[in-house]
Structure 1
């Protein structure tokens, strides 16, 4: 299952800039005689509470940009990998959220409140799970060490608007590092600060802490140096540096330091990861390659046995067949080989669901998923695929019930709300449809549009006074959230 998030900027960019300016004012006018809170890095620049609020605001805007991928299988993998590292992180103050950006640049980034994005291009070029984990560990370290807040603290003598301009450039760089560089150079605070993200000291600190985290989590500590070498090779072969090098400058000294730090830890042989190889195949087949090329690529890989794990290559070929609408060939691979070998694998269950729906046989998907959903009803891959299959089979009440249960513990899952809206629309329950759409807009930070949807929902509610009362209460909540951002 895969859903791309719809662009939805509206007025929210203004609100975000206003919030950053407000945070900057707090920083600029802090009482110079006040002592910082002991034990919390950069707490006098921006509090943890404000950092989480701003991080949530940025993430809502990121969700509304088309490069952000709504892919439950890839998200589940990335979040699981990230969590395996976070449990070994020191000073983790936030529940981390990891997400994908559909961009072929070699890049990853972190911002306020424990949000970490990874470009598909980075995944495509990582050779091992330890290399990918090394990048995540580095970004987690930027967050736990609060490097953005510390940069703000260093800029306390600048004007509030200058600080807001600096941070605004950082946030632009999330999706486009070169544009972020231009934005920062245009600001008065940027002329003496050419790097986008962090100082050289911050980079060294993130490298040191990240490699230590990598070792504690059981990965190959050489992954960091190996990936640095990959980036350096890209730089030598390209007319301009990879995107990640614009935000994370790479020197021979930094590569040597990474190798020296790795030598301080015992050598560990890590076997190839099936989940990593499946995620990499999914990125290539669905996001990086053209459909015809993807088929040829995976056929050649299988013919030459140029794979690390054969099942991952077969999975890539099945996805490539799906994109070419050759669903029967995809089903043959999925049912006769992959699911036969590994019937509980979420990557395979997701693909099989899409194939059955494409073939007009959604009830076969429902039958396939039902025992798995019964064991793990809150898993996003299983629940969302089952809901999608039920909607395709016109079993709307069952889909809605499943989604409501899922949303009880996943309150901000936009795909679940999108599916809920689709089910209500097809079932001609228009008041509930508009309420679900309102939740999607709110997750994009577009509160004005969310309120508009609730107004439509109110008009469709008829004589249902209890529902009208709930809608009025939700409108008030959205308006309060918008005002809270403006007061930040």
Structure 2
């Protein structure tokens, strides 16, 4: 699916260093409820999940998260391959991407792991990328953020509100966020630094082991660190990752020695890894003309690992420049050799819709969707094509079914709202809008939308009761956050 580009925003790497005495910052939308109770000595898993959920909802409203089903499918699959090999994984993990060209990754409460788009475009191999995923997964499974919270409390009380405020501050200005944790006496600051270094070492060791068990090349970890260290000597502004993941020489040697214990791994190159790189470059970086030249040069001079990835990037670049016939020609060739490739199917759907032929997209996707009805790429693309083809009831049913499997599928609500508006179903539109606001932690707005839905119910007593119950659930969620 073709999604609008969003402005870049700076974000922090790993969130542990932000646990100092930072002040919460105001937001003019989706304001978090005040959470003033200090963290307990032992942060329970349930509380960690609640805090992580609130933080994720806040990020949806304020960070440039890429709601791209193809990219989401790839990074979630890659992350799951690592999580299944992790010890102490106590809850499902959620992986997401921010539209930002810097090399960066971060983890926070409840198994949420975010990466910057620049991490993928700058990684040299899938094993290098997976090494960063594994490192962040290890931070979560070892509960480093909870442990750091407990350690910080021994010196000064930690409030959840100040934790979230520090995260948002670092989102807007990483240097300010990091400077904020330097406040206070030097002894306390040094204690936090030492604690973080021990966590980084632990995450390195566990991450490399996880990487090997998942079938990746453990040498990807030292290779990635070496690349960062080399680039940092040139003072590149792309190395935001190094601000809280310092790479001293001994860290490189330690990870290299640990990776060597697993022997040499000849892991084949991944086509999907190179396809997702091409997608990010063509859709979220540069401009169409520059990208046409970039991928065109790769194809002409055979400067690629996979020709398919270079051709795919060229097709997307043609699409972005509204040269739909050229994009369709390339994608037709790619699909002829790989008929079920989700990258190609997604792009061809966009081209057919742009060519005012959504019916052809529906015909192309329907057989594949029937075989895999819960696949988000197929379901979302088919629903989008059906909406454009004015096949609203079928689209609505697909989206409702998808939300039964994944109630936090943000893009599903956006498409559902479009379908309800087109069919004049105001009550359903308000209800879908309320759920979308809920995913942004904008509970007051969600309740307002439900009040509008209530006014559209007429004499349907059962529906009135359902809406009143959902309003009460949102109010209870707000109260739960306030009691944390």
The alignment's TM-score, normalised by the length of structure 2, stands at: 0.91
**1:459 shift after superposition:** 1.8
Question: Residues 214 and 221 of structure 1 are in contact (CA less than 8 Å); yes or no, is this contact kept in structure 2?
Answer: yes
Distance 2:190 2:213 in 1: 34
Relative to structure 1, the CA distance from residue 154 to residue 164 in structure 2 (aligned partners, 3 Å threshold; closer, same or farther) is: farther
2:50 corresponds in structure 1 to 53
Q: Residues 176, 348 of structure 1: CA spacing in aligned structure 2 closer, same or farther, 3 A cutoff?
A: farther
Aligned with 1:233 (options 216, 230, 234): 230
Post-superposition shift, 1:240?
A: 5.5
Cα distance, 1:316–1:239 mapped onto 2, change above 3 Å: closer
- Is 1:379 the counterpart of 2:375? The answer is yes
Q: Give the secondary-structure state (helix, strand or coil) at the position aligned to 1:64.
A: helix
User: 1:131 aligns to what?
Assistant: 128
| 1:415 alignment counterpart | 411
Counterpart selection for 1:448 from 444, 449, 462: 444
Gaps of 5+ in 2: 8-25
TM superposition shift of 1:9: 5.4
Structure-1 separation of matches of 2:236 and 2:363: 52
Deviates more, 1:149-158 or 1:353-362: 149-158
Change (3 A) 1:393 1:75: same
Residue 192, structure 1, aligned to residue 181, structure 2? no
Q: Kindly indicate whether residue 397 of structure 2 is the aligned counterpart of residue 401 of structure 1.
A: yes
Give CA-to-partner distance per residue, 1:196-215, whole Å, 9 cap, x none: 89611111110000000001
Cα distance change of structure 1 residues 174 and 52 upon mapping to structure 2, 3 Å threshold: farther
Is structure 2 residue 19 aligned with structure 1 residue 22?
no
The structure-2 alpha-carbon separation of the partners of 1:328 and 1:239, relative to structure 1 and needing over 3 Å to count, comes to closer
Bigger RCO of structures 1 and 2 (CA < 8 A, at least 6 apart): 2
Q: 1:153 to 1:193 in 2, by over 3 A?
A: same
Q: SS in structure 2 opposite 1:70?
A: coil
The match for 2:286 among 281, 284, 289 is: 289
Aligned to 2:11: none
Give, in angstroms, the shift of residue 84 of structure 1: 0.3
Residue 223 in 1 paired to residue 220 in 2? yes
TM-score w.r.t. the length of structure 1 is 0.91
**Aligned partner of residue 156 in structure 1, secondary structure:** helix
1:158 is the counterpart of 2:173: no
CA RMSD of aligned residues (A): 2.3
SS of residue in 2 equivalent to 1:364: helix
Partners of 1:287 and 1:53 in 2: CA distance: 32
Q: 1:105 — aligned with what?
A: 102
| Cα offsets for 1:88-130 (capped at 9, x unmatched) | 0011111000000111110000000100001001111001000
- Is residue 471 of structure 1 aligned with residue 467 of structure 2? yes
Aligned match of 1:350 in 316, 341, 346? 346
The 1-side partners of 2:91 and 2:5 are apart by 25
Where do 1:249-268 residues align within 5 Å? 249-268=246-265
Deviation for aligned residue 1:466: 2.4
* Cα distance, 1:416 vs structure 2: 0.6
SS of equivalent to 1:215: helix
Alignment-derived partner of residue 209 in structure 2: 212
Q: Deviations over 1:302-356 (max 9, x none)?
A: 1111110000000000110111011111011001x11011010111111111111
Residue 460, structure 1, aligned to residue 456, structure 2: yes
Q: Does 1:74 align with 2:60?
A: no
Shift of 1:157: 2.4
Structure 1: distance between partners of 2:412 and 2:293? 34
Match of 2:362 in 1: 366
429, 432, 443: which one pairs with 2:428?
Answer: 432
What residue is the counterpart of 1:115 in the other structure?
112
The residue aligned with 2:325 is: 328
- Number of residue pairs matched? 466
3-state DSSP of counterpart to 1:214: helix
**What's the secondary structure of 2:62's corresponding residue?**
coil
Once residues 5 and 409 of structure 1 are traced to their aligned partners in structure 2, the CA distance between those partners, rounded to angstroms, is: 27
* CA deviation after TM superposition for structure 1 residue 154, in Å: 1.2
Note the residue ranges of structure 1 that are not aligned, 5 or more in a row. Answer: 28-43
Give the Cα separation in 1 of the matches to 2:187 and 2:238.
21
Q: Is the 8 A contact 1:311 1:338 kept in 2?
A: yes
| Contact 1:184–1:190, Cα closer than 8 Å, also in 2 | no
